[in-house]
Amino acid sequence: MQAATATKGAISIRNVTKIYDPEGVNVMAVDDCSLEIAPGEVCMIVGPSGCGKTTLLNAIAGFHSITSGEIYLDGEMLCGPDKPIADQGADRMVVFQNGALFPWKTLLENVAYGPIVQGIMGKKEARDKAQDILAEAGLADFSMKFPGEVSSGMSRRAEIVRALINDPKVLLLDEPYRAMDALTKSIMHESLLEVYDRTKVTIFFITHDLEEAIFLGDRVVVMTTRPAKTKKIVNVAIKRPRDYTVLSSEEFRLLVAEAKGAVHEEAIKAFEAGERELA
Amino acid sequence: MFFGIALWLVTYYLFNEGWKLPLFNKIPGPVEVITEWISRDPIFGMSLFTEAYHTNIYVSCQRILIAFSIATSVGVPLGLFMGWSKTFRDYTFPILETLRPIPILAWVPLAIIMFSGFETPIIFLATLASLFVTTLNTLLGVDSIDESYFRAAGCLGSKPRHVFWHVVLPGAMPFIFTGLQISVGVAWFSLVAAEMISGDFGLGYMIMDSYMQNKYVTMVMAMITLGFVGWLTSAMVRFAGDRMMQWRVRALALEGR
């Protein structure tokens, strides 16, 4: 397999703090968090529920403002002191927790949507391209179906295809495989790895699942319970391309054990504090 | 369905001609009504074969068509914009919410004062009732759209007009069609009320007129006709909705519904 080399998609998160202010009660979701993500890195964010992982993702994507700090993408400021909320754009594609394919569009229409509204491709061209890349993802026969007619695994895969057709610098995934059974999950993992090996797109991936994090990631960032800071960073040196044999290797088990201690400690803190998830 | 209709007829027959319940003393039984209905020479002057009967149905249906079309073509865009733009909603929602609770019968005198003739006030009343329902349901439809679709649209590089056509409108569609079904119902309700008060033709007028002249058979005939026509119109709305929302029909079918 020829691996593309990544030249774009460096994310720099510098001293980001986010304070929510619902009904006058200040809730600090993220506290002075800094993180450098290299171009083409798969960065896995792990932490207890409600710790502010999604807040960070929302800030990068431009869904929410930040209170202080700066976020850069390839040297350009997305948000900072003078601009608390980033512009939304197709250079950062989000794959949502519960899936956000438009249910009223077929898979093909969903995938072709981005290039059409951005004015990059004509309708015909976009549809042809969409059909091609759906076929690459093994979805050729389902392109005319609506999201409600295909399995959750297929619709999630189509959602990633919809993101990739825009050639994004970064893929932001918010627990995309959370609700899936273990078998479907493993298929999704392999297909994501395959996509990554082909595109070398920078991936910012939020999860609760430590095995998933180590299997997919170059680095696993363990966050503290709210307010979120980086507690521990585990470097995963397992070589790519990876497949399922990795899961039974000694190296993999040691890494899981290393990360598990840190995560468990924070999970207990979060549970005892009775944290609920913030938007 | 036919079993249901048969059951209904049998019950009517038993209450009326079978057990002769006192409550139904003055009400004509099904045999009498049906005989009159299919008679070429009806005793009270109206049946399937008389022109007057057709005119009444035609006039009412035409009024409903006009009222429903106006209400839909105003109410749906109005509701979409109210749901989409916070500013627009802040200006318009209070007006909608104070006018909406006024019962349509309370508008009757006003409609008669404002408009001349029979036709305009009747259509005005039916339109008004229908408009409130459609607008509110469309608005709620926009509110019901999951935030993540707006976010996804933003990520994909949509401009506001794309969001409107590709997220707001299709996302509100299920609520819009629920609203349209209710709206066609209340249009009939207020139409008939208006026709009973001020009318020259129409099914509402037919009911009131035959009641005044003690033609109870014709009255019951008009009521049943109203039921059928009303059912037909809401079935048509349902059909149109299913045609326009194949994505939903197919997804629901897979859930076994």
B158 within a domain of the structure (yes/no):
yes
User: Is residue B166 within 8 angstroms of chain A, CB to CB?
Assistant: yes
- Residue B116 sits in the same domain as residue B218: yes
Report the percentage of chain B scoring pLDDT > 90: 67
Chain B residues whose CB is inside 8 A of the A151 CB are: none
Nearest to B152 among A89, A92, A100 (CB): A100
Same domain, B129 and B243: yes
Domain tally, chain B: 2
Closest C-alpha among B33, B6, B3, B5 to residue B17: B33
Alpha helices in chain A (DSSP H): 53-61, 107-117, 123-136, 152-164, 182-199, 210-216, 250-273
Interchain CB distance below 8 Å, A149 and B146: no
Does residue A163 have a pLDDT over 90?
A: yes
* SS3 assignment for A152-213: HHHHHHHHHHHHHCCCCCEEEEECCCCCCCHHHHHHHHHHHHHHHHHHCCEEEEEECCHHHH
CA distance A213 to B76: 47
Residue A2, pLDDT above cutoff 60: no
- Interval A165-202: pLDDT, tens: 999 999 999 988 887 888 888 889 988 998 898 888 99
Domain containing B27: what range?
A: 1-37
Identify whether residues B87 and B32 lie together within a single domain. no
**Cα–Cα nearest to B93, from B135, B124, B126:** B135
pLDDT of A277 higher than 80? no
pLDDT tens, A223-237? 887 777 787 888 888
| Judgement on whether residues B64 and B171 belong to the same structural domain of the protein | yes
In chain A, which residues have their Cβ closer than 8 Å to the Cβ of B151? 61, 63, 88, 94, 96, 100
pLDDT bin (cut points 50, 70, 90) of residue A3 is very low
pLDDT of residue B116: 83
Query: At residue B253, does pLDDT exceed 90?
Result: no
* A232-236, B53-57, B235-239: least confidently modelled range: A232-236
**pLDDT on residue A24:** 64
In terms of domains, do B211 and B139 share one? yes
Does A105 sit within 8 Å of B156, measured CB to CB?
no
Residue of B144, B155, B173, B257 to mutate when probing chain A, most A C-beta within 10 A: B155
CB-based contact A88:A64 (threshold 8 Å)? no
ipTM of the complex: 0.88
Query: Looking at residue B256, what is its pLDDT?
Result: 75
Q: Which sign, positive or negative, has the C-alpha torsion B83, B85, B90, B92?
A: negative
SS3 label, residue B14: helix
Asked, for residue B250, whether it belongs to a domain, the answer is: yes
Residue A149 touches partner B, C-beta closer than 8 Å: yes
Please tell me whether residue B85 adopts helix, strand or coil conformation.
Answer: coil
pLDDT of residue A1: 38
Helix (H, G, I), strand (E, B) or coil at A46: strand
Average pLDDT over residues A72-94: 89
Question: CB–CB of A149 and B246 under 8 A?
Answer: no
In this structure, the answer to whether residues B233 and B210 fall within a common structural domain is yes
Task: Tell me the HSE value of A95 on the side-chain side, using a 13 A CA sphere.
Answer: 27
Residues of B in contact with A114 (CB under 8 A): 156-157
Is B209 inside any structural domain?
Answer: yes
Residues of B in contact with A103 (CB under 8 A): 247-248, 251
Sheet strands side by side (includes A68-73) = A27-37, A11-20, A68-73, A76-79
- Asked whether residue B26 falls in the same domain as residue B81, the answer is no
Q: Is residue B43 included in any domain, yes or no?
A: no
Radius of gyration for the alpha carbons in chain A, expressed in angstroms and rounded: 19
Q: Do B209 and B148 share a structural domain?
A: yes
Neighbours of B25 (CB within 10 A): 8
pTM over 0.90: no
* Per-residue tokens: A55: 């807040």
B83 lies in the same domain as B157? yes
Same domain, B87 and B20: no
Chain A environment of B157 (Cβ under 8 Å): 89-90, 114, 117-118, 166
Residues B15 and B62 in one domain: no
Q: Do residue A166 and residue B148 have CB atoms under 8 angstroms apart?
A: no
Where is average pLDDT lowest: A52-56, A68-72, A271-275, B174-178? A271-275
